[in-house]
Amino acid sequence: MSFARKVWHLIVAVKDGLSLVFLLLFFFALYALLTARPSPASVREGALLLSLDGVVVEEKSPLDPFAVLFSGQAPTGEYDVQELVHAIDEAAEDDRIKAVVLEFGAVFGGGQVHLEDIGAALERVRAAKKPVLSYATVYTDDSVMLASHASEIWIDPLGGALVLGPGGNRMYYGDLLKKLDVNARVYKVGTYKSAVEPYILNAMSPEARENYTQLYGSMWAEWQAHVKKARPQVNLAAFAQNPAEWFARAGGDAATAAKNAGLVDKLGDRVQFGRRVAEIAGEDPWDKLPGTFAFTELDPWLADKPMPDTGDAIGVVTIAGEIVDGDAGPGVAGGDRIARVLDEALESDLKGLVVRVDSPGGSVLASEEIRRAILRHKDRKIPIAVSMANVAASGGYWVSTPADRIFAEPDTITGSIGIFAVLPTFENAAAKWGVSTDGVSTTPLSGQPDLIGGLPPEADALMQAYIEDGYSDFVDRVGKARKMTPARVDEVGQGRVWDGGTARQVGLVDQYGGLDDALAWVAGQAKLGDGDWHAEFLGDETGTSDTLLRRMLVGDEAERARSSDLVGMFALQRNRAMSQLTADLGRLTGTKGMQAYCLECAPIVRSTPDSEAQGWMAKLIALLT
Q: Which residues are catalytic?
A: 193, 394
Let me know: does 107 contact 76? Beta carbons within 8 Å.
yes
Q: Are strands 312-320 and 419-425 parallel, antiparallel or unpaired?
A: unpaired
Let me know: does 496 contact 275? Beta carbons within 8 Å.
no
Angle between helices 2-35 and 544-554 (to 10 degrees): 100
Residues 6+ away with beta carbon under 8 Å from 532: 311, 312, 523
Whether the link from the prior residue into 306 is cis, omega within 30° of 0, is no
Count, residues in the chain:
625
Q: b/e map of 443-464 (b: 16 or more CB within 10 Å)? A: eeeeebbbbebbbbeebeebbb
Let me know: does 568 contact 610? Beta carbons within 8 Å.
no
Q: b/e map of 316-341 (b: 16 or more CB within 10 Å)? A: bbbbbbbbbbeebbbbbbbbbbbbeb
Q: Kindly state the helix (H) or strand (E) to which residue 419 belongs, with its residue range.
A: strand 419-425
Let me know: does 374 contact 327? Beta carbons within 8 Å.
no
Helices (H), 311-456: 335-344, 364-378, 395-398, 427-432
CA angle 391, 359, 189 (to 5 degrees): 90
Residues facing residue 533 across a β-bridge: 312
Q: For residue 490, give Cα distances in angstroms to 53, 111, 125, 216, 589.
A: 42, 28, 45, 23, 30
- 3-state SS string over 535-552? EEECCCCCCHHHHHHHHH
Helices (H), 72-153: 81-93, 112-127, 141-147
The amino acid present at 490, given as its one-letter code, is D
Alpha carbons 423 and 425: distance in angstroms, whole number: 7
Residues 6+ away with beta carbon under 8 Å from 438: none
Would you say the C-alpha torsion 332, 334, 335, 340 has a positive or negative sign? negative
Let me know: does 98 contact 282? Beta carbons within 8 Å.
yes
3-state secondary structure of 183: strand
Write 271-279 long-range contacts (CB < 8 A, 24+): 272/154, 273/133, 273/135, 273/154, 276/133, 276/152, 276/154, 277/47, 277/99, 277/101, 277/133
Q: Which of 406, 404, 399, 398 is nearest to 471 (CA)?
A: 398
Residues 6+ away with beta carbon under 8 Å from 256: 250, 267
Which DSSP state fits 559? G
Residues facing residue 50 across a β-bridge: 102
Residues facing residue 84 across a β-bridge: none
Q: For residue 584, give Cα distances in angstroms to 88, 241, 528.
A: 38, 31, 47
